[in-house]
Amino acid sequence: MFSHLALVGATGAVGGLIRRLLEERNYPFERITFLASARSAGQKLAFRGTEHTVQLLRPEAFDDIDLCLASTPDDVARDFIPDAVRRGTLVVDESGAWRMDPTVPLVVPEVNPTAVDGHRGLIASPNCSTTQMVVAMKPLHDFGRIRRVVVSTYQATSGAGVAGQRDLTQGTHAFLHNQAYEYETFKHPIAFNLIPQIGSPKQDGYTSEEIKMVLETRKIFGDESLRICPTCVRVPVSNCHSESILVETDRKISAAKARELFHDAAGISLIDNLDAGEYPMPMHCNDSDDVFIGRIREDLSCDNGLSFWCVSDNLRKGAATNAVQIAELLIERGLSAKRK
């Protein structure tokens, strides 16, 4: 058990979910400290029946912290995490700052739990769109070895933060009432629209979000030969990311076998009855920790191809839940001692 736990970014959307999950899952510790920037320091938060004052995020705050769960922007993570690790704190980081550092494990507990064993004081949690995809890929990869993935994402506005969700609700209201609305987050209207760009432009016409899915998936599976072609799209949905995934495998996997593999896999819920109109949809997957799979079918264009539909709550499994699961995994694997 970790004696003293810290939560950085405690007042944010993901931080609030982590607080809730720590309570719901009864994560064991003796003391907890909530940390945030100067803008949020001093706020009062209720946790397990006690009121806590949010403390200022600064190097000295980690002097007696055993484990830190952090949900911050990348630049903040780059600033504070090295100091925290030097002071002996084990950090589970939600940001993208350290994911591709070769010395930092990138972990999804259902997929590569043993990766935590080699940590050097820091463990990274992947991007939300990557997380649900690799959970879905895991049972198929174990059975038939995936060699190629074509994925199109349909990503909710919550992935762009509270302001992104506000753009959806207020932009929709303005559209319906023929009023002007100045979008805060998106370059184009999201109400009644799709935006086929998430992140900044990167190499060969791909965006930063798409490149994350390629590089992070390869790192998590430890397989640089995986061929991945992603297209990431922002859609007018408040929460839960959806993905259309086509995998090509070395060993053929029938649709029936895939249903069996998904049914038996940790962290996956199967909803797959096209005749009855039953399949995962964001409105039904909200506030769940599972990755939901449906529309499973063999690819008509490739002998060893399999297509399916995948939905998951990007704020929970895509962020908060995965961090808490990593914290639980550390205890399960006996890695609760501080690293100096």
The DSSP symbol for 313 reads -
The pair of three-digit structure tokens given for residue 129, joined into one six-digit string: 């769109």
Residue 94 CA, chain-centre distance (Å), reads 8
SS3 state at 19: helix
Parallel, antiparallel, or unpaired for β 241-249 and 305-312? antiparallel
How far is the C-alpha of 247 from the C-alpha of 140, rounded, in Å? 9
Is 241 one of the annotated active-site residues of the chain?
A: yes
Report how far apart, in Å, the C-alpha atoms of 232 and of each of 136, 158, 222, 313, 328 are.
Answer: 17, 15, 23, 16, 31
* Element holding 70 (H helix, E strand): strand 67-70
In one letter, which amino acid is 162? Answer: V
Give the residue carrying structure tokens 């064991």: 28
Q: What's 203-244 look like in SS3?
A: HHHCEHHHHHHHHHHHHHHCCCCCEEEEEEEECCCCCCEEEE
| Phi, psi dihedrals of residue 104, rounded to the nearest 5° | -110, 120
User: Which of 68, 241, 285, 310 is flagged as catalytic?
Assistant: 241
Asked about 141 being catalytic, the answer comes back as no
Catalytic, out of 68, 128, 232, 240 = 128
Whole-number Å distance between alpha carbons of 86 and 80: 10
The CA radius of gyration of the chain, in Å to the nearest whole number, is 20
- Cβ(64)–Cβ(4) under 8 Å? yes
Residues labelled catalytic: 128, 241
